[in-house]
Chains A and B, each alone.
Chain A
């Protein structure tokens, strides 16, 4: 295992997202938004990868992934 610390971010499966907006409600940093009523998208600048949205998403279509940046 690498000791290097990677940033973790919420990634939404935009094909399966139902745009209910519950992730927006539970995000403590307002780092996720529903774009045009079609899908949710996390703001990589604000997201700290806490995983709250992933846990609460009714459709379970949000994953916390390690980002390269």
Chain B
């Protein structure tokens, strides 16, 4: 099938992870992966982002498919259950809001900037090469560290399930995918 421009968005996803690794402020660009799918779901009532533009999904299918890094086994039943998918969405958002809270604490001056990336919500990795100060408030960097933690954690989880199960197993429990599907369900039920 003919390749379209959006079939190469995996390059943008890879570039995002690499650039933010060296300069944490690039992590802010990750907000696009939140607002674009939500916008498409809310305005268009479809999952156009997952279906076409998700660079992360493309990256997983490339690594797991063409590069053969996946066992290509079925995901377990519980992983595709509504309980797990909605539970993971709630957990992910709880962690997201806790990250926003830490950002607020830095903005308000109650806490100092922590130059660390928290992997899998547990492991605090020192990350002191990616930020050297700007004219902006330290809170801007704190959000970037927190957001990069979210993006890196989801990438690591996605890579693990890519290796153990099918390349795009992440799509099964991706919180953005679950949320946009819920929005589409609500929206299309009303219109139907």
One of A25, A37, A58, A61 near B181 (C-beta < 8 A): A37
Q: How far is the CA of A18 from the CA of B171 in the complex (A)?
A: 8
Decide if the interface of chain A is mainly helix, strand, loop or mixed. Answer: loop
Are A18 and B184 within 8 A (Cβ)? no
Q: How far is the CA of A18 from the CA of B177 in the complex (A)?
A: 7
Render B164-176 as a binary contact track against A, CB cut-off 8 A, 1 for contact: 0011111110100
Is B124 on the interface with A (CB-CB < 8 A)?
Answer: no
Decide if the interface of chain B is mainly helix, strand, loop or mixed. Answer: helix
Tell me, rounded to whole Å, the shortest Cβ–Cβ distance linking A44 to chain B: 21
The tally of residues in B whose CB lies under 8 Å from a CB in A reads 32
Is B185 on the interface with A (CB-CB < 8 A)?
Answer: yes
Q: How far is the CA of A20 from the CA of B51 in the complex (A)?
A: 6
Are B75 and A36 within 8 A (Cβ)? no
Tell me, rounded to whole Å, the shortest Cβ–Cβ distance linking B39 to chain A: 13
Residue of A nearest to B185 (CB): A38
Are B52 and A21 within 8 A (Cβ)? yes
Report chain A residues within 8 Å CB of B46: 34, 36-37
One of A37, A59, A61 near B47 (C-beta < 8 A): A37
User: Residues of A at under 8 Å CB distance from B?
Assistant: 16, 18-22, 24-25, 28, 34, 36-38, 56-61
Given A36-B188, A37-B181, A58-B171, 7 more pairs with CB closer than 8 A:
A19-B47, A19-B50, A20-B177, A34-B51, A36-B187, A37-B180, A37-B184
